[in-house]
Structure 1
């Protein structure tokens, strides 16, 4: 393609990603898909006046009960609804947990790269364009399936993530929660020209200013606000990690809670989860930083309970983000056909540790057929008894455990409170106290958009200067977490 033609195209479309544009030039799926999608995905017509000129696709498991949740899943640029249906893992959990999924689709007729218009005030505001079309799909699906209007959720990748944030801001009365994957803060851009700037580094706004963008999207609304999950790869050079920080600042401000995590832990795939609780102690905002992951949705192919999806363009092998998002929203509770969910085992405790093993015990749960043991978020064993010894572990390493009771039909109950055990031996954790500037110079942190992030955990340490000081704890080697208290340098 001649450079003059490429420049004209860049002026006409929203630049959601340079990589996506290159993919489109090479023949990626920017064109409209076939009229009928494969498998169980079905197209729906006549769902409303459709002011945004979108297409509606849906998936629902057989024998879907009334009052089940409803999930809306938005694809990224150069993708289709069928791409998201096939690769994201949402159909697996729709079958397992019992809910319907709506897959809206935009096409090249709306945008040359098939991007949702998260940057366009005519498309992303309350009662306007694509946003209004998506809400019409929700209302149609609620009537069609008898869905619980109190449990409607929206998730999206990249441009779909940007539209997700806009929908949460414009329709907090419709969506109980959202999940933004490699996406942008609500109302980050209001023009095509501003879209690229948001991707590479959003405006340097205070949390209150970010929160004001949400509050201005539905003036007069006083809550309750949606609960928001934020997924971001630390090596994303298309939508930079600074966007996840801005999203965190935006939604913690809306909730009126601080920006210091209530809890931080590690999940599979090099993922660091930071939880920000509301005033009642329930998670309101959760961030998931996936170390080393580029631009895309985190999936984890496999048949395990916490595995999902298929790797493809912008579907990256790391962790099943769909599973963890669903658990955050509570979709795994009150599973249809499973009766009352078994309660969490109480009394989980560490009874012994060695260099290569950890022994656990817990109290029995009435009605339990067996128990599932989870280490660092992944299931490692099933046992009929109330004790378990986990072997083959690394010395001098911290491991986090939970246990769930499983009923006779194989349905797991609520997870127990987490316990942490550190194996003996190995090199002790090292701590380093220094200014943000010095931490970066020493290779323990890195900069993005004027802020400093700890290597490994990607926790935000604040501005890149010599006036902010933090203590970083290293464990394992090369993985640093903020430890300003209780860690001697």
Structure 2
């Protein structure tokens, strides 16, 4: 990939300081990262790759690109693919092999793109709490791209997957933890465990010498990032070269520990087998006997994404900087997710997706939906955030017990007489009324870890309002009032809540 993780993040509103720090970061990155500085790849413009605008508020300042095979039917899966540092969406599109399988297996492909305006080396800011936590920054921008793709291409919200390389892998791990209700599976190529770092310095620690935490400690980071009460987790593939000196192989072990703990399974493989390209695959089954976690260890491979150019059915991609000729990782990942039609996810029923889904009304704690009837449907499934929350025998449904002042995404699927649910509808968003402010008194460090604040240049700023809070440490304490979802203000003089 491009420069793997040189990662100073520049707050977008501080352009003058950013210009100075960008030059310093580039110099530091050249010393710290293996392989030297690689020129930024071209902006996404490859044939078949289209830029998509208007996908939401885009708080992370990202660009959305998509590749959609001709005549793709509604209800097809969706794959989100994140490039590495100094790369672009078009670079990843051209080398990774994912378009080949989008054509072969039939799914939409979304490629988010960051830029030097966000990070000096165009890395996704996986190590910044304000960019990687649920509902914030770049993470929220990627989530909004998923919603846009579902609405525009009719993608099945039950079959949305995410993959990434290096810095893109770091963001992938965080997205899987923060949005387990959105992603059915993920693939982390040469990346660190979810929420391993919360600053530039800890990012380098994770890359070169990840903390040797217990599986339970790693798993706790995922559980704390996910919505309360989450009980269903994505299936995760981990790809790691044994000769990687940029993201050390120990990261794969810690990732294995993290996701097997989340699934409640042990760290002893259910089976191990050899694949081409010097690859050893270890699989860890869930209680039903299906692989929940896979670890691909590539003997002698350095830092990069595994590709295997050629015309064979299990070959893909093209070589380049950080695209290494070993084995086609995209092929094996697609099969692990069941995108080939023979794998893990059940095929949807034969009824079409309901049309006309709309929000009829909302209160502080409820959202009422309505949609058009589907001929032949005996009932309907209602999904909130990709998870089934109820059923209805008519074309209306009211979801209850919601939080005030919060946005919820909904889709609906028709169920036939055999009990099979068809593809889901286009998504709609319902935002409940009202909001109950809450107050939080803690150190700047703890505020940042909790996502109520973010760190930039050793200083701390309140999430949402951007108010300055002083040094990022455990000795400076402030009270923050949450006045709206994802928005905090300093309330040291007294918190009304």
**RMSD over aligned Cα, in angstroms?**
2.3
**Cα deviations across residues 158-204 of structure 1 (Å, max 9, x unaligned)?**
00000000000000000000000000100000001111110001112
SS at match of 1:173: coil
Structure 2 match to 1:311? 319
SS at match of 1:132: helix
Structure 1 match to 2:208? 200
1:28-39 correspondence runs (5 A): 28-29=39-40, 33-34=42-43, 37-39=45-47
Distance 1:266 1:129, change over 3 A: same
Structure 2 match to 1:411? none
SS at match of 2:99: helix
What is the CA-CA distance between 1:65 and the residue it aligns to?
1.0
Structure 2 match to 1:50? 58
Structure 2 match to 1:95? 103
Which one of 22, 36, 44 corresponds to residue 36 of structure 2? Answer: 22
Q: Distance in 2 between matches of 1:316 and 1:190?
A: 29
**Cα deviations across residues 334-373 of structure 1 (Å, max 9, x unaligned)?**
69xxx99xxxxxxxxxxxxxxxxxxxxxxxxxxxxxxxxx
Q: Distance in 1 between matches of 2:342 and 2:282?
A: 26
Q: Distance in 1 between matches of 2:338 and 2:329?
A: 14
Structure 2 match to 1:363? none
For structure 1, list consecutive stretches of 5 or more residues without a partner in the other structure: 341-489
What is the CA-CA distance between 1:228 and the residue it aligns to?
0.1
Checking the alignment, whether the CA contact within 8 Å between 2:34 and 2:245 is kept in structure 1 is: no
Checking the alignment, whether the CA contact within 8 Å between 1:153 and 1:177 is kept in structure 2 is: yes
Q: Determine which structure has greater relative contact order: mean sequence separation of CA pairs < 8 Å that are 6+ residues apart, divided by chain length.
A: 2
What is the CA-CA distance between 1:18 and the residue it aligns to?
3.5
> Is residue 2:116 matched to residue 1:108?
yes
Distance 1:79 1:60, change over 3 A: same
Structure 1 match to 2:232? 224
Structure 2 match to 1:331? 339
**Cα deviations across residues 234-271 of structure 1 (Å, max 9, x unaligned)?**
00000000000010000000000000000000000000
Checking the alignment, whether the CA contact within 8 Å between 1:13 and 1:192 is kept in structure 2 is: no
What is the CA-CA distance between 1:313 and the residue it aligns to?
0.2
Checking the alignment, whether the CA contact within 8 Å between 2:30 and 2:37 is kept in structure 1 is: no
Structure 1 match to 2:71? 63
Distance 1:37 1:235, change over 3 A: same
| Number of matched pairs | 327
Q: Distance in 1 between matches of 2:126 and 2:28?
A: 9
What is the CA-CA distance between 1:78 and the residue it aligns to?
0.8
Distance 1:168 1:37, change over 3 A: same
State the 4+ residue runs in structure 1 displaced beyond 6 angstroms: 5-8
Structure 1 match to 2:185? 177
Q: Distance in 1 between matches of 2:315 and 2:216?
A: 37
> Is residue 2:273 matched to residue 1:282?
no
**Cα deviations across residues 320-347 of structure 1 (Å, max 9, x unaligned)?**
0000000000000069xxx99xxxxxxx
Checking the alignment, whether the CA contact within 8 Å between 1:47 and 1:140 is kept in structure 2 is: yes
**Cα deviations across residues 291-342 of structure 1 (Å, max 9, x unaligned)?**
000000000000000000000000000000000000000000069xxx99xx
TM-score, scaled to structure 1: 0.64
Checking the alignment, whether the CA contact within 8 Å between 1:182 and 1:231 is kept in structure 2 is: yes
Structure 1 match to 2:88? 80
Q: Distance in 2 between matches of 1:283 and 1:129?
A: 32
Q: Distance in 1 between matches of 2:339 and 2:28?
A: 34
TM-score, scaled to structure 2: 0.63
> Is residue 2:257 matched to residue 1:246?
no
Structure 1 match to 2:128? 120
Q: Distance in 2 between matches of 1:38 and 1:219?
A: 37
Q: Distance in 1 between matches of 2:146 and 2:160?
A: 8
Structure 1 match to 2:277? 269
What is the CA-CA distance between 1:220 and the residue it aligns to?
1.3
For structure 2, list consecutive stretches of 5 or more residues without a partner in the other structure: 1-18, 349-497
Structure 2 match to 1:165? 173
SS at match of 2:187: strand
Distance 1:61 1:259, change over 3 A: same
Distance 1:200 1:37, change over 3 A: same
